[in-house]
Chains A and B, each alone.
Chain A
Amino acid sequence: MRRFAALVDSLIYTRSRNAKLAAIAAYLRATPDPDRGWALAALTDSIDFPAVKAATVRNLAGTRIDPELFRLSRHHVGDTAETVALVWPDAPDGEQSDPTVDAVVQALSATTRATAPDVVASLLDAMDANSRYAMLKLALGGMRVGVSARLAKTAFARAFEVGIDDVEELWHALDPPYEALFRWAEEGGKRPDLSTTPFFRPFMLSHPFEGDSLDLGQFAVEWKWDGIRVQAVHLGGETRLYSRGGDDISAAFPDVVEAFDRDGVIDGELLVRGTDQGGEAASFNALQKRLGRKTVPKKMRQEFPAFVRVYDLLMEGEEDLRLLPWHQRRQRLEAFVPKLNADHFDLSAVVEVDDFAALETMRAGARDAAIEGVMLKRRESPYLAGRVTGHWYKWKRDPLNADCVMMYAQRGNGRRASFYSDYTFGCWTADGDLLPVGKAYSGFTDDELKWLDRFVRENTLNRFGPVREVKKSLVLEVAFDSIHESKRHKSGLAMRFPRIHRIRKDKPAEEADRITTLRGMIS
């Protein structure tokens, strides 16, 4: 565990991408199976111990330390797992052991909610402070060491000098601790056979379009639908639905999974039909009601029926189409989709426009709830893993903006533990009251954060634990992708992806926007 803890810490403190790659690659080469596989799974959040909860760990602290001392410590550190790791008493010299990552994973996997406290406590007892930290982060999930799955795979590819696309593909087909993957990469062993497993194929992603013009003879135009990107796989008699990150989300959408009954792999946008919109695709807000569910009540399936608007065909039967140009895949797709259950699958249309000027007008005018912008796809593009330059572009419609007034601020976590970095802001009612309309914690630079933090400290009216109420004097120009009805805020509105666009030091708070103005932006 100490080696793994040292890796975690070096990833925390290193900002350079190359140094991170080097650190992971060195660890993977030097560490035996199955520890390195578990470590890889931990770094990429591919491992989960549902029996261990944050509350388990928090409560455990109370068995070794006074709750008030823990509270003061937690407040200083800003992170529960780290606080527990630091305050946990060290075993006397010579009584510390250094359990393997495998031993830790086995112990954590075997726990139930009832045994979790004892298991975690005995692991904590055996370790030094850095290992305790790494173990708790592993147990609770979410290492937050600035390592994306893509970065970890790149490090793997570098460590053993194999192709990144091969790693991507095999990775998703195998389970931690990926021993077959290491065997293949390290010893040039046999490539694991995947022909009958319904595994995830990496998505092809796009770059934002930043040009002034584009030759529409070379590029086809599609709507960019505002749902979640999914891949539906039906192979070897099994069906799976994967999210963009490769997570299996089949359980949340049994209606879609049951309906996909032809051998193949499709890429599309998962949407729900909104009855209030005449059976058309509803807003993302409606889709959210079905996300993240482990089981789906029948009523929910009826009220928010899910369907996939299909963009692309990756495999038909056992034939891999990914290296064909887009226009050929499109032909195959147009023949494939009509064979599917029409309640749950339809084709994302290719949009016909005469020229680029017409496209600009069309994009600007698109305010359909389920449209996020347009996609521009090179007609000759193969289907490639990841974000490859020059093939696909997304051109989102412009964000909406509103001038809001800062009302409350909350301390951040981790690196931002000493900053008030999460801001709740509001707009005016007709009666001259401020009601909260959203909360944002991004969009500003480090210097702006320092300025905002100082503003909060100097303009505090009230303190509620980590939250401060501030003088209602600062106007924040907030950018957001869309706005919806919501019961979460008193204002009855909720923004999607709100972020601080500008700090309007120049604007008096009375001149910020009114709730009615925002209500007019609901699409």
Chain B
Amino acid sequence: MAKAKHWIEPHPQGIYVRPADIWIDPSTPKKHAVVTHGHADHARGGHGEVWATPETLAIMGLRYGTEAGTPLGYGDGFERGGVRFSLHSAGHVLGSAQVLMEYEGERVVVTGDFKRRPDPTCAPFEAVPCDIFITEATFGLPVFRHPPIAGELDKIFARLEAEPDHCLLVGAYALGKAQRVIAELRRAGWDKPIYLHGAMVRMCELYEEHGVSLGALRLVMDTPKEEMRGQIIICPPSALTDKWSRRLPAPVTAMASGWMRVRGRARQRGVEIPLVISDHADWDELTGTIRELAPRETWITHGSEDGLLRWCELHQIKARALAMIGREDGDDG
């Protein structure tokens, strides 16, 4: 069997697969790149040849104007330089994939970002057996446990009921989080139009084109102020405190992110309703997945790697941190 450390090289700007001359999620332009999903810290423009799911290619097309690349469905793959690549659902956002690589009898999985919770806007995570599990650890500390989403949405409904003259402004990352919040609101029975910040519109349309139904959506810009009382509005986190929000009728601010679990973080954001809703695996999902897959080694790409490393040490699981750059704990938590 090959030894992964001889054919897979972690670099600060991405993972390099030497025999195939392919980078996974490189942060600088490369000749050959496999891209796990459309978030900007994983998908950059300007690569030569790209392999990704059709959804990820569409998202990159929307963001960078180039949709060129080889589309691969979940379970599909290709071979290059003796390495067999295939993509498997990661459950993170629409089109998100894990990359399985098989080389000389060794199996290596790169998760990109993933979660295990059900999400009406994307395919569920597939557990792929492997020898080396290369995982994210955004929430790699035991303080991060995401509660069931229904209780979080109830905070919105309760507040709207108590203060019907206000509107509820939810800050959510434009790719993935926003659509998931909308879809979950629909599942919880909210059938009124949902109002959008302009920056959300094209991504929501893209989701709908890929079969994710989001119900009636309206643009804040086109709506008279009074009509939005008692309504839910979705905007990017940066717009929560922006001058843009002055056009809204008495907004109560909420923010959907796994970071909202920590009170100090939520207060720094200045939001009144922290919604602990994340598209990343929480502590139990991270540790549970490692237990379930029982890989020979676990490598950690980014996040709170110290916490997950320590857990691996306590459970006598061989692990190392790769110290990737450019994958910050930003708003997409």
Contact = CB atoms under 8 A, between A and B. Distances in A.
A522 interface: no
Nearest to A78: B264
Interface string A241-263: 00000000000000000000000
Contact of B143 (A14, A68, A86): A86
Contacts of A87: 142-143
Nearest to B307: A72
Interface residues of B, number: 24
A72 B310 CA distance: 10
A79 interface: yes
B236 to A, nearest CB: 20
B31 interface: no
A298 interface: no
Given A72-B307, A86-B145, A415-B267, A14 B272 contact: yes
Interface in A427-460: none
Contact of B262 (A69, A76, A90): A76
Contacts of B157: none
A13 B262 contact: no
B266 A13 contact: yes
A82 B307 contact: no
A87 B143 CA distance: 5
B141 A73 contact: yes
Contacts of A66: 310-311, 314
A12 interface: yes
A129 interface: yes
Contact of A73 (B263, B272, B307): B307
A90 B142 CA distance: 12
B306 interface: yes
Nearest to A82: B263
A76 B141 contact: yes
Interface in B169-189: none
B310 A69 contact: yes
A69 B145 CA distance: 15
Interface in B134-149: 141-145, 147
Contact of B274 (A13, A73, A417): A13
A83 interface: yes
A72 B272 contact: no
Contacts of B262: 76-77, 82, 86
B268 interface: yes
A66 B287 CA distance: 15
A9 B155 CA distance: 12
Residue from the set A12, A15, A72 with the largest chain B CB neighbour count within 10 Å: A72
Contact of B142 (A9, A73, A79): A73
B143 A73 contact: yes
Contacts of A414: 263-264, 267
A76 B273 contact: no
Contacts of B263: 9, 12, 79, 82, 133, 414
B304 interface: yes
Given A79-B264, A86-B261, A415-B264, A65 B304 contact: no
Interface in B243-278: 261-264, 266-268, 270-274
Interface of B: 141-145, 147, 261-264, 266-268, 270-274, 304, 306-307, 310-311, 314
Closest 4 CB pairs of A and B: A86-B143, A87-B142, A417-B264, A73-B143
Given A13-B274, A72-B304, 5 more contacts: A13-B271, A73-B143, A82-B264, A86-B144, A87-B143
7 contacts: A12-B263, A15-B270, A69-B141, A73-B141, A77-B143, A79-B263, A418-B268
Interface of A: 9, 12-15, 65-66, 68-69, 72-73, 76-79, 82-83, 86-87, 90, 129, 133, 414-415, 417-418
